[in-house]
């Protein structure tokens, strides 16, 4: 089928649906919802049999939905309407929520229903629910809708009189609805309010006399009791860039802030960085990665062992890895290497594996080119450390999505597994034609053909875990849920550590590294990549700096990139029956 995605952005959900539909053989083109006339033009060029709106902030133009079948995916249960669906579901403590596929009509989210898929709610941020439960349910809902469409069925009208229909029209959530009453709200309420607002818009609040939006909150189970006199809301401790604030019944870590009252554009940054000298008298309470604790807390890197397997977790916010984070992770990895284990499992975080160098920190630095250079070198040091590990076998277990250098970080491991729903963006070009490093010129050709490598890097398209495994980019994908993925990873890691052929596999790995090094040293790959990166960072062409500024500042797109808008490519229009996925194989 010829399908047009009409979407506000090519976000994670849109990318997942795109990979699912192209894998199923549909010809999908994408148009950003920028302007009604541009949308009409896209429809005229692509002549879609179906328009899908996975992520829209306003209603589809009348001239489009009246003449074309349009299915809108709304992140809410049947009957729910409004732009803050998940925000309200979290704040109201809903125990079950859902995704509904609706036929577009003149009213936002009010059309007839093609399918509605419910899921149990989890104590998690809005973005985490969106990237996991909402995304999985949206895939199911859209597939159900397509099946019903193929059978010639019609959508059913919404029946608000039906007592089973729990959803309601709810207004946009305002900052007043999100505001934390530090003297009244308990820890659970504070967490719910911040989670309902993460990653956007955050919860507005004052800290030490400055107004910020708060992001990424985690419960602290121990330290709150050590500051019994602290007024709720007070900053009582700091750790690795995060701040700990007292609540009425404990304390919460807040890792990121954004200034709201400044005249210049502002970005999300680590809390301690923005508070700076204001935290001079606030104690740092370190918690090293390997120290086991039995209470809820937050730390950016955690190491644990089970038998002969070491597990390294690095749930960096948004998967972004700044210079200091790469250095700390590299130190933790070296410590893991020195342990008498046989297998090291690199787990990233539950929502992201890694998205490469930290573009916000680079943007906020005094000298963006210098900081980019430091960051990519720190990232390369980490990747190298994984590649040259010769006493253990390593597993990259991607629980969440990965982009750019983050994908190549995973390829440094001996085995690369991904949760089945994971989306990879193994390319750098969208960030202002960045050449990329992380030893990708060594790691990618080890896994795919030169033609596939070229296509993956040039097409700039997302690759689903299934296709990534089929082309050999990763070794395998499994796990319909994060829990199922973890269970299987643990089983495979244990099996590898106790495999009768372990010594042989390790010997083969050493021999291969030795031969590779003799054929071309790792240092040569790195030097060549960094030579190109130096031009990106310090050269005459400022595309990378411009693209980064736009990305970090979330500057709205003024047109759809041509690699997504196939309808603007005459060759693609002629060949609409073949999918981009097929072309990329
Ligand atoms: N540095 C800083 N922040 C990053 C980041 C990075 N490298 N990659 C992603 N983020 C942030 C986004 O700004 C966004 O922030 P928000 O919480 O304020 O919304 C959040 O992570 C999620 O990213 P988003 O783009 O919304 O996720 P997605 O799943 O729709 O898209 C990517 C995933 C990887 C395609 C996209 O995030 C991307 O292109 N990232 C940049 C990758 C890159 O070029 N890295 C540098 C070269 S190694």
Q: Going by CA atoms, what residue is nearest to atom 24 of ligand 1?
A: 11
How far is the centre of ligand 1, averaged over its atoms, from the C-alpha of 199 (Å)? Answer: 11
How far is the centre of ligand 1, averaged over its atoms, from the C-alpha of 404 (Å)? Answer: 9
CB of 359 closer than 6 angstroms to any ligand 1 atom: yes
Q: Cα separation of 108 and 58, whole Å?
A: 7
Taking the chain, what is the end-to-end CA distance rounded to the nearest angstrom? 20
For residue 31, pLDDT over 70 is answered with yes
Q: Cα separation of 350 and 353, whole Å?
A: 7
How far is the centre of ligand 1, averaged over its atoms, from the C-alpha of 564 (Å)? Answer: 18
Ordered strands of the 463-464 beta sheet: 352-354, 401-403, 423-425, 463-464
Q: Cα separation of 70 and 49, whole Å?
A: 9
DSSP string, 349-411: -SSEEE--B-HHHHHHSS-HHHHHHHHHHHHHHHHHHHHT--SSEEEEEESSEEETHHHHHHH
How far is the centre of ligand 1, averaged over its atoms, from the C-alpha of 355 (Å)? Answer: 6
* pLDDT tens figures, 162-183: 888 999 999 999 999 999 999 9
* pLDDT tens figures, 417-445: 999 999 999 999 999 999 999 999 999 99
Q: How confident is the model at residue 579 (pLDDT cuts 50, 70, 90)?
A: very low
CB of 54 closer than 6 angstroms to any ligand 1 atom: no
Any residues with CB less than 8 A from the CB of 341 and at least 6 apart, and which? 305, 308, 309, 310, 392, 497
Cα–Cα nearest to 102, from 60, 61, 135, 62: 60
CA angle 435, 441, 442 (to 5 degrees): 155
Q: Cα separation of 36 and 109, whole Å?
A: 18
CB of 16 closer than 6 angstroms to any ligand 1 atom: no
Q: Which atom of ligand 1 is nearest to the CA of 379?
A: 48
CB of 356 closer than 6 angstroms to any ligand 1 atom: yes
Q: Which atom of ligand 1 is nearest to the CA of 376?
A: 48
Q: Cα separation of 491 and 470, whole Å?
A: 22
Q: Cα separation of 302 and 320, whole Å?
A: 17
How far is the centre of ligand 1, averaged over its atoms, from the C-alpha of 123 (Å)? Answer: 23
Q: How many CA atoms lie within 13 A of 530 on its CB side?
A: 19
**Superfamily grouping for domain 175-279:** Formyl transferase, C-terminal domain (3.10.25.10)
CB of 11 closer than 6 angstroms to any ligand 1 atom: yes
- Mean pLDDT of the 318-326 span: 98
The pLDDT, as a whole number, for residue 252 is: 98
CB of 318 closer than 6 angstroms to any ligand 1 atom: yes
CB-CB contact of 247 with 193 (8 Å)? no
For residue 580, pLDDT over 70 is answered with no
How far is the centre of ligand 1, averaged over its atoms, from the C-alpha of 99 (Å)? Answer: 24
Q: How confident is the model at residue 129 (pLDDT cuts 50, 70, 90)?
A: very high
* pLDDT tens figures, 181-207: 999 999 999 999 999 999 999 999 999
CB of 200 closer than 6 angstroms to any ligand 1 atom: yes
How far is the centre of ligand 1, averaged over its atoms, from the C-alpha of 403 (Å)? Answer: 8
242-251 b/e (C-beta count within 10 Å ≥ 16 → b): bbbbbbbebb
Q: Cα separation of 569 and 574, whole Å?
A: 9
Domain boundaries, the chain: 175-279, 302-538
For residue 109, pLDDT over 80 is answered with no
The pLDDT, as a whole number, for residue 160 is: 87
Q: Is 154 exposed, middle or buried (0-12, 13-18, 19+ CB in 10 A)?
A: exposed
Q: Cα separation of 464 and 192, whole Å?
A: 31
Q: Cα separation of 547 and 111, whole Å?
A: 38
Q: How confident is the model at residue 576 (pLDDT cuts 50, 70, 90)?
A: low
Q: How confident is the model at residue 459 (pLDDT cuts 50, 70, 90)?
A: confident
- Give the 3-state secondary structure of residue 107: coil
Using the structure block, give the residue that is written with the tokens 């709150």. Answer: 224
Cα–Cα nearest to 136, from 123, 117, 149: 117
Element (DSSP H or E) covering residue 26: none
Least confident among 129-133, 153-157, 322-326, 567-571? 567-571
CB-CB contact of 233 with 245 (8 Å)? yes
- Mean pLDDT of the 241-258 span: 97
Q: Cα separation of 559 and 51, whole Å?
A: 18
The pLDDT, as a whole number, for residue 38 is: 92
CB of 145 closer than 6 angstroms to any ligand 1 atom: no
Q: Which atom of ligand 1 is nearest to the CA of 215?
A: 17
CB-CB contact of 365 with 332 (8 Å)? no
Question: What distances in angstroms separate CA 314 from CA 145, 241, 410, 465, one per listed residue?
Answer: 38, 15, 13, 21
Q: Cα separation of 521 and 385, whole Å?
A: 14
Q: Cα separation of 537 and 443, whole Å?
A: 23
- Mean pLDDT of the 141-161 span: 95
* pLDDT tens figures, 406-415: 999 999 999 9
* Sign of the CA dihedral with 315 first, then 363, 401, and 58 last: positive
* pLDDT tens figures, 35-90: 899 999 999 999 999 999 999 988 899 999 999 999 999 999 999 999 999 999 99
Stated pTM of the model: 0.95
How far is the centre of ligand 1, averaged over its atoms, from the C-alpha of 431 (Å)? Answer: 10
CB-CB contact of 62 with 106 (8 Å)? yes
Fold category of 302-538 in CATH: 2-enoyl-CoA Hydratase; Chain A, domain 1 (3.90.226)
Cα–Cα nearest to 327, from 304, 361, 297: 361
CB of 266 closer than 6 angstroms to any ligand 1 atom: no
Q: Going by CA atoms, what residue is nearest to atom 16 of ligand 1?
A: 199
CB of 350 closer than 6 angstroms to any ligand 1 atom: no
Question: What distances in angstroms separate CA 156 from CA 37, 134, 145, 159, 415, one per listed residue?
Answer: 30, 22, 11, 9, 47
Tokens of 500: 């009768």
Q: Which atom of ligand 1 is nearest to the CA of 462?
A: 35
Residue from 128, 273, 318 to probe ligand 1 pocket by mutation (most atoms less than 8 Å from CB): 318
Q: Which atom of ligand 1 is nearest to the CA of 403?
A: 34
Q: How confident is the model at residue 574 (pLDDT cuts 50, 70, 90)?
A: low
* Sign of the CA dihedral with 46 first, then 50, 52, and 58 last: positive
Q: What is the DSSP letter of 224?
A: G
Q: Which atom of ligand 1 is nearest to the CA of 548?
A: 44
Q: What is the DSSP letter of 76?
A: S
For residue 117, pLDDT over 60 is answered with yes
How do the residues of the chain divide into helix, strand and coil, expressed in percent and rounded to 5? 40, 20, 40
How far is the centre of ligand 1, averaged over its atoms, from the C-alpha of 318 (Å)? Answer: 7
For residue 575, pLDDT over 80 is answered with no
């Amino acid at each position: 089928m010829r399908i047009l995605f009409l979407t506000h952005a090519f976000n994670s959900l849109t990318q997942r649906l795109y990979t699912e539909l192209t894998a199923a053989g549909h010809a999908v083109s994408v148009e950003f919802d920028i302007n009604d006339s541009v949308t009409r033009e896209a429809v005229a060029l692509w002549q879609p049999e179906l328009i899908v709106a996975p992520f829209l902030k306003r209603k589809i133009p009348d001239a489009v939905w009246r003449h074309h079948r349009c299915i809108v995916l709304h992140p809410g249960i049947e009957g729910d309407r409004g732009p803050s669906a998940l925000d309200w579901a979290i704040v109201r403590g809903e125990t079950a929520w859902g995704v509904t596929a609706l036929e577009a009509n003149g009213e936002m989210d009010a059309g007839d229903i093609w399918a509605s898929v419910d899921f149990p709610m989890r104590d998690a941020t809005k973005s985490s629910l969106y990237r996991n439960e909402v995304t999985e349910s949206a895939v199911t809902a859209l597939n159900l809708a397509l099946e019903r469409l193929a059978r010639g069925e019609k959508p059913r009208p919404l029946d608000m009189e039906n007592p089973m229909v729990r959803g309601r029209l709810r207004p946009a959530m305002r900052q007043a609805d999100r505001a934390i009453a530090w003297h009244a709200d308990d820890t659970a309420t504070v967490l719910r309010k911040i989670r309902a607002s993460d990653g956007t818009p955050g919860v507005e609040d004052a800290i030490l006399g400055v107004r910020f939006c708060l992001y990424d909150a985690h419960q602290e189970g121990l330290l709150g009791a050590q500051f019994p006199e602290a007024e709720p809301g007070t900053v009582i401790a700091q750790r690795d860039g995060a701040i700990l604030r007292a609540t009425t019944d404990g304390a919460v870590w807040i890792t990121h802030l954004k200034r709201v009252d400044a005249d210049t554009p502002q970005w999300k940054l680590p809390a301690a960085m923005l508070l700076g000298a204001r935290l001079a008298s606030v104690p740092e309470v370190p918690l090293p990665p390997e120290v086991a604790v039995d209470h809820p807390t937050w730390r950016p890197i955690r190491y644990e062992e089970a038998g002969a397997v070491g597990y390294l977790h690095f749930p960096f916010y948004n998967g972004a890895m700044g210079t200091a984070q790469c250095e700390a992770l590299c130190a933790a990895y070296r410590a893991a290497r020195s342990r008498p284990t046989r297998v090291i499992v690199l787990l990233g975080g539950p929502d992201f594996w890694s998205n490469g160098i930290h573009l916000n920190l680079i943007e906020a630095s005094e000298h963006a080119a210098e900081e980019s250079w430091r960051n990519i070198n720190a990232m390369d040091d980490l990747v190298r450390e994984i590649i040259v590990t010769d006493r253990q076998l390593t597993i990259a277990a991607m629980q969440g999505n990965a982009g750019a250098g983050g994908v190549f970080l995973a390829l440094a491991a001996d085995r690369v597994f991904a949760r089945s729903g994971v989306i990879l963006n193994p390319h750098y070009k969208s960030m202002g034609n960045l050449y990329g490093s992380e030893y990708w010129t060594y790691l990618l050709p080890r896994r795919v053909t030169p033609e596939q490598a070229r296509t993956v890097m040039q097409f700039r398209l997302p690759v689903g875990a299934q296709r990534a495994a089929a082309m050999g980019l990763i070794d395998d994908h499994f796990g319909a849920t994060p829990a199922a993925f973890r269970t299987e990873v643990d089983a495979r890691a244990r099996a590898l550590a106790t495999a009768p052929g372990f010594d042989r596999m390790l010997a083969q790995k050493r021999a291969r590294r030795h031969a590779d090094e003799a054929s071309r040293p790792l240092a040569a790959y790195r030097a060549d990549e960094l030579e190109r990166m130096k031009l990106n960072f310090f050269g005459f062409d400022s595309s990378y700096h411009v693209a980064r500024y736009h990305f970090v500042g979330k500057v709205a797109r003024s047109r759809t990139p041509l690699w997504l808008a196939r309808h603007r490519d005459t060759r693609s229009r002629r060949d609409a029956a073949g999918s981009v996925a097929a072309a990329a194989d």
